[in-house]
Structure 1
Amino acid sequence: MPIPAGFTPSATETQTAARQAAFDAVPDPTTLVSRHEIRDALIERHTAAVQDKLDAAHVAIAGCGGLGSTVAVALTRIGVGHLHLVDFDRVDMTNLNRQQYFLKDVGQYKTEALKANLAQINPFVDVRIDTVKVTDDNVVDLFGDADIICEAFDVPENKTLLVNAVLEQLPNTRLVSASGMAGFRSSNLISTRRVSKNFYFCGDGETAPKPGAGLMAPRVGVVACSEANMITRLILGEEDA
């Protein structure tokens, strides 16, 4: 989708046009690799039995920022077969300090930019997108067919909304959530725990952004990969945190 005129006030028209041209010029990844090549490489690392389970999994990712984009990259790299990306926001320059986007993506919808970037890793993963804001009223419609839901919002109120809605409306769906990842405190404070039968939580649970210690790529990445690892374990039948 084209960048709307004036969306990035600090960018010149030339910069905006150049970003759009770069976004549009990304090569078709299916001309670079075959499904057979990618699957053989994954099986070499994972074995066919493990890869078959990963291929069959359906994971929904709510939020495509620092957490969600990193989770999506990790799951794409291991060949999770079906991903559903949900976000309403666009990529801006302040996202690039921790999110899996590039300069060409600035101004694009995150769902569309992330889908395109994931295709450059594995174009044979089935990636579905919904560019909408999650509300109490659309949780079932958006996430009702997922095996696992990854909560990956930045805003605490949005996290609470999704967690409560899933626990109430989709109690049999497994949910992996995160909180407490800001700054540069020790990674050893980050953990994964099972809160209830189908609810898992990653992070230190307390560290919020503050001046000089905002959301930064290394620590956000640790928590995101903790979410991705818990999701992988659930797909492979491991339910303990």
Structure 2
Amino acid sequence: MPTELPPPRGSVPPAHRVTFDESPLSNLAAGTRRCLRMAGLGRMCSWLVVAVCAIIAIDLSSVLSPVVRTAAGILILLVAAFLFIRHLWQTPRKITTEGVTREVEAAHPDFGQLLSTARDPSLSSPSVSPVLRNELYRRAGETLATLDLKRNLPRRPVRQWLVASVLALLGFLFLMTSNREAPVALKRLVAPFAGVTYTQVADTTPDRTFDRTRLPRIEATVTGRPAETVMVTIA
């Protein structure tokens, strides 16, 4: 009759083998990448709006040539592409589970390198004692469960850049509504060679002498975009 041999001393049956769940660290890395992308989006939006407002203000004060407006538009697009690649693609890609693990350990020096050691692939080697490995996994899991990893998310830059982008957009809306020529300047920036010009009014009244016997006559020449109807009241 066959008899089942007892397991070697120091071994643990497979049913009782402990594993280290590193999903909280992986979720922290994913959340950090999302925060960096949101901050990068706010940074890019803020820069674009401020740059467009600056070009509009310069064009309003001193009319820019189509070549200068084209160069300014190309420069804005190039910088926007640079910000997109760096802050929405390259920087988030550098965030790894290993990196956030080291940051968590640096924030809690009393844990030492317990989490990094538990993530070490060499622990799966047959030469490592199962008892030691399972005890290490258990301690790392319990330690990880006591941490509020959401506090490690870089939320401050997200808030700062989102507020900056909202303020920049409000400034842009104020500029568009407070200056009647600002929308024209925006069209001139978007389509520099479309021939969009500002409205210019020149007084062409032939006789400016006041005569009580006849109604006053005022003439003006309007060039540029179509002018709005204006009523002149003389008291």
Q: Same fold (TM over 0.5)?
A: no
* Structure showing greater relative contact order (alpha-carbon pairs closer than 8 Å, 6 or more residues apart): 2
Give the TM-score normalised by structure 2.
0.21
Q: Which has the higher strand share?
A: 1
Q: Tell me which protein shows more helix as a share of its residues.
A: 2
Superposition TM-score, scaled by structure 1 size: 0.20
